[in-house]
Amino acid sequence: MIDDVFRGSAAVAAGAITRARLRGPTVRRLFQDTYVRAGVRVDHVVRCRGATCALPSGAVVTGRSAATVRGVRLAWPEDDVQVLAPPEMRLGRRTGIDVRRSRIEPRDVEPWAFGLLASPMRLTLDLLLGRPLPDAVADLDAVLRAGLVERDAVAAMVARRSDNGIVAARRAVELADPRAEALPESRLRVLLVLAGLDPVPQYWIEDRTGRLVCVDLAFPERKVAVEYDGDWRDGERWALNRDRDRLNRVHAIGWDVVFVTAPMLRDGRTLLRTITSALA
C-alpha cells in the first residue's frame, strides 16, 4: 500500500506499482519522480507534500507555501512551491519549485509530511525578503490577522538580522496593519501611503438610520471612501467582493466612494490620479 503522494522509483522498487501504471490514468505526476493518486484533489497543500517527497533531505517548504499549509491561504494550486535550501545543498532547477538559498537554523523548521516545514517566524521572514513592498506588506497583514505571528516579535526579528533585503523588510513591518480583510486591500493601502496619503483602514461610518457601514479605506476629513471592487477566487469560482447597497448608504450622507478595480491596482498612476481627484 502506498501513500496518496509518493515517490515513483521507491514505489516501483517496493513492488507497490509498476512503471507502466506510473504512465497510466490512475496516478498524476506532481514533480520529477513524484506522483499523486488520480482521485486526490491537487490543491497547494498537496503540491507542498509532493515537494517534500521530491526534494533532498534538509529542504524546507517556506514563504507563501508554508503559510498556506498553516491555514493562511496565500498560494493557489498552480503556484510554485516556495522552498528554502541551505547554500551547500546540491539542488538543480525544478519545474514547479521556487528555491531560495539561505542558512537554516534548527528553530526555523519542524517535521512535516516527508520533509520539513518552516516555522511561523521563518516563513514570515521569507515573505518579507526580496519581495515588492506592497506584496510583502499584504502577506504580512494576512499572517498577522490570522494570529500566526505577533507584530512585535516580527519587528524584533528583522531588527536583529542582516539578510540581503532586510531594510525593505523592516519597512514592510512598519507599514503592516492586520485590519485589512484581503490582500488587494493591503496592497492598495501601501500604494497610497507610499504616495504620501494617509488612509484609515476598515473605517466605520454611521448612516442616517444609525447603522454602521465599514469601508475598506477612508479619508474621514474629506469624506472619501475607497473600496477594492475586484474579482477574487473563492474555491473554484470567481465572485464580486462588495455589497453595493451598503455603499449607497454612504453616498446618501455625503461621502464619495472610489471603486478600485484589479486593473487600476496594477496601474499606479491611474489609481493615484483617480483618488487624488476625489480628495480634491
pLDDT digits (tens, 9 = 90+) for 8-35: 999 999 999 999 999 999 999 999 999 9
Same domain? For 157 and 220 the reply is no
Angle, vertex CA 42, rays to CA 4 and CA 137, nearest 5: 125
Q: What are the tens digits of pLDDT across the range 104-135?
A: 999 999 999 999 999 999 999 999 999 999 99
Sheet containing strand 27-31, edge to edge, reads 5-7, 34-37, 27-31
Which pLDDT value is given to residue 243?
Answer: 61
Residue 267 confidence class, pLDDT cut points 50, 70, 90 = confident
Mean pLDDT of all residues in 49-75:
97
Which pLDDT value is given to residue 233?
Answer: 42
Same domain? For 91 and 130 the reply is no
Same domain? For 140 and 217 the reply is no
* Percent of the chain residues past pLDDT 70, beyond the cut: 94
| Closest of 205, 147, 216, 214 to residue 180, by C-alpha | 216
Same domain? For 20 and 112 the reply is yes
Same domain? For 109 and 93 the reply is yes
Task: Give the containing element (helix H, strand E) for 7.
Answer: strand 5-7
At which of 96, 118, 140 does a domain end?
Answer: 118
Task: Give the containing element (helix H, strand E) for 82.
Answer: strand 81-85
Same domain? For 69 and 35 the reply is yes
Look up residue 213 and give its DSSP letter.
E
Q: What are the tens digits of pLDDT across the range 71-105?
A: 999 999 999 999 999 999 998 888 999 999 999 99
Q: What number of other Cβ atoms are within 10 A of residue 39's Cβ?
A: 9
Do residues 213 and 191 lie in contact, with contact meaning Cβ atoms separated by under 8 Å?
no
Cα(28)–Cα(43) distance, rounded to whole angstroms?
A: 13
At which of 71, 93, 118 does a domain end?
Answer: 118
Cα(69)–Cα(218) distance, rounded to whole angstroms?
A: 33
Which pLDDT value is given to residue 234?
Answer: 43
Same domain? For 131 and 222 the reply is no
pLDDT value at 207 more than 60: yes
Q: What number of other Cβ atoms are within 10 A of residue 49's Cβ?
A: 25
pLDDT value at 195 more than 90: yes
Which pLDDT value is given to residue 44?
Answer: 98
C-alpha dihedral over 270, 273, 279, 280, to 10 degrees? -150
Same domain? For 137 and 221 the reply is no
Q: What are the tens digits of pLDDT across the range 139-154?
A: 999 999 999 999 999 9
Q: What is the CATH number of the domain that holds 222?
A: 3.40.960.10
How many domains, in total, are found in the chain?
A: 3
Distance of CA 146 to the CA centre of its chain: 12
| Closest of 123, 175, 178 to residue 145, by C-alpha | 178
235 Cβ partners below 8 Å, 6+ apart?
none
SS3 112: strand
| Closest of 128, 132, 169, 171 to residue 265, by C-alpha | 132
Note the helical H segments in the chain: 8-13, 19-22, 44-54, 63-69, 120-128, 133-145, 151-160, 166-175, 183-194, 244-252, 262-266, 268-279
Do residues 175 and 137 lie in contact, with contact meaning Cβ atoms separated by under 8 Å?
yes
Q: Which domain holds residue 261?
A: 183-279
Do residues 64 and 51 lie in contact, with contact meaning Cβ atoms separated by under 8 Å?
no
Same domain? For 237 and 154 the reply is no
At which of 118, 143, 166 does a domain end?
Answer: 118
pLDDT value at 138 more than 80: yes
Residue 55 confidence class, pLDDT cut points 50, 70, 90 = very high
Residue 3 confidence class, pLDDT cut points 50, 70, 90 = confident
Cα(69)–Cα(112) distance, rounded to whole angstroms?
A: 10
| Closest of 48, 53, 59, 112 to residue 86, by C-alpha | 59
Same domain? For 187 and 242 the reply is yes
Same domain? For 49 and 140 the reply is no
The residue whose grid cell reads 474629506 is 222
Same domain? For 108 and 18 the reply is yes
Residue type, 247: L
| Closest of 22, 23, 54, 28 to residue 40, by C-alpha | 28
